[in-house]
Amino acid sequence: MTAQDRSSRLSPECDGHDALLRSARWLEVGDDDPRVPPAFVIEFSSAAFALPAFEQHGVPLPAALQRAVPKRQAEFLAGRIAARHAIERLGVVASIPGIGSSREPRWQPGVTGSITHTRDLAGAIAVEASAVRGIGIDFEEVIEAAARDAVRELAFTPGELALLEKQHGHLSDDMLLTIAFSAKESLFKGAHAAAGRYFDFSAARVSALDADAGRLTLTLAETLCPDLPEGSCHPVSFRMLRPDTVATSFVW
């Protein structure tokens, strides 16, 4: 039985009878890296969200989100439901991850992982904390034309943009930009705990991208911690979830 086959058995709340949670599945996001488990991915509808859904699904509503807009509350709920399934896959009783000072998930002892969402997809992975130093995943919809210039200026150097512009193949320029942006998000999620501080997009630079292999390389432009020194190179895997949506993953 494949991970995808197990999804219906593991997710009765995603069986088509819940207007908020439309569907769920297990999805490989880590290329062939055995350290990256399948992600539990939920398709959800923010328009169908109402506050009682938190109690219905057994997820506490954090105080920090009590005044958030419904869309943000729906994203949080779907992400935490996905995280619960990802943790249960490890064979342990799952505790819903809390929220840290930098809005990062706070995982239960012995577990680490990553949570991500778009406007209608939420995904999570979880691993035994002893198995990796850090892990991160990110889902991104293709960057819209109106945001393109701002993203280019915020997240990339001229050299990185030149490298992306030299790519040829089936991916559009905007999707290549989205993949590179998402890769940096995955790196941040996977390295933040070890770094012990906030770092921005300038901390890592795109140094290689192989669209056919689904792999991008980030080179650190600053030292994040002793085991993530300036100049070190780190692969990030990517795959398309939809024609307009990419998933990236980073593990070390």
Q: Which residues fall in the annotated binding site for CoA?
A: 72, 80, 116-117, 138, 185, 189
- Binding residue ranges: 72, 80, 116-117, 138, 140, 185, 189
Structure tokens at 216: 């991008």
The answer on 122 and 16 residing in a single domain is yes
Strand order from edge to edge, sheet including 39-44: 21-27, 39-44, 121-128, 111-117
Q: How many CA atoms lie within 13 Å of 9's alpha carbon, on the beta-carbon side?
A: 8
Residues 92 and 155 both lie in one domain: no
Among 28-37, 71-80, 235-244, the minimum mean pLDDT is found in: 28-37
Q: Which DSSP helix (H) or strand (E) runs through 76?
A: helix 70-88
Residues 179, 230 within the same domain: yes
DSSP for residue 228? B
Q: Is the same domain home to 127 and 153?
A: no
pLDDT of 178 > 50? The answer is yes
3-state secondary structure of 185: helix
CA nearest 186: which of 81, 26, 82, 30? 30
* CATH number of the domain residue 66 falls in: 3.90.470
Q: How many domains does the chain have?
A: 2
* One domain for residues 118 and 232: no
Angle at 124 between CA 119 and CA 128, to 5 degrees: 165
Q: Which of 132, 148, 181 corresponds to the end of one domain?
A: 132
pLDDT tens-digit readout, 123-177: 999 999 999 999 999 999 999 999 999 999 999 999 999 999 998 788 999 999 9
104-112, Cβ contacts within 8 angstroms, sequence gap of 24 or more: 104/189, 104/192, 104/193, 111/87, 112/193
Q: Domain residues for 22?
A: 3-132
| CATH number of the CATH domain containing 246 | 3.90.470.20
Residues 109 and 179 in one domain: no
Q: Would you list which residues are annotated within the binding site for Mg(2+)?
A: 138, 140
Q: Are residues 216 and 244 in the same domain?
A: yes
Indicate if 61 and 97 belong to the same structural domain.
yes
On the question of pLDDT at 6 being above 70, the answer is no
Note the Cα 201 to chain centre separation in Å.
16
